[in-house]
Amino acid sequence: MFSVKFNFKRRLLPLYSSLLLVLSIGSVSPGANDLHFYDGVSPADVIFGDVFFEILDPPELRYSYRIRPAKDFGAPFNESIHFANARLVPTKPLHSCSDIENFEDIVGQIALSERGECSFVYKTVMAQQAGARAVIITESVDKWDENIDHLIEMVDDKMELDVNIPAAFLLGRSGATILNTLRKLRRRYAVVNLPINMTHVPINKMNQPPWIAW
């Protein structure tokens, strides 16, 4: 009896230490990829300040996507921000650091830009000038290996720019898949609903993309 217990404990020890290691890594970089540590709590606790949108078309991208609103710039994602069957339009140029050429697609819609070259605030201002009503920024495709699974906290870089549309960050893995799929299908935009209310949706019913590890 005693020896059975003893062996049991010894077997569990390595498990405990690897669990502790994983937990401490998780607390250093909170992001979508550590969500599975929240198993058993309500979706509201998992979602905190994040927002979800869904892609309706093209069908290849028909999933729900989680985005993290900018921390201290831009308008809030409040009740005024409501898109149904709207366009999510990759900007040209994709980094949105100079005048956006495809403003005709973007006016009144949601711009999709990639990180890099200039600040998040600057990109948001360029999207706003092109007529976008919101902007989603994702990891730049050539940097996606390092940062693909992290939701970046976008903070103001203290430029004195007047931003009055909301901005949010999308996981690099999702952003790259959306951009690549649209390119492959020769589509100028995806059709989306934003936000979608996930408050009472169980985690396993959230229709997350298969490339997101929950």
Ligand X SMILES: *[C@@H]1O[C@H](CO)[C@@H](O)[C@H](O)[C@H]1NC(C)=O
Pick between residue 87 and residue 133 the one whose CB is nearest to ligand X.
133
Spatial distance between the Cα atoms of 214 and 208, rounded to a whole number of angstroms: 8
Pick between residue 128 and residue 177 the one whose CB is nearest to ligand X.
128
Residues at the contact surface with ligand X, assessed by CB under 6 A: 75-76, 78-80, 197, 199-200
Cβ-count burial of 84 within 10 angstroms (0-12 exposed, 13-18 middle, 19+ buried)? exposed
Pick between residue 69 and residue 175 the one whose CB is nearest to ligand X.
69
CB of 69 to ligand X, least distance (A): 12
Here the tokens at position 57 are: 């078309």
Pick between residue 117 and residue 156 the one whose CB is nearest to ligand X.
156
CB of 197 to ligand X, least distance (A): 4
The DSSP code for 173 is H
Instruction: Say if CB 37 and CB 26 are below 8 A apart.
Output: yes
DSSP bridge partners of 54: 64, 193
CB of 63 to ligand X, least distance (A): 19
CB of 196 to ligand X, least distance (A): 9
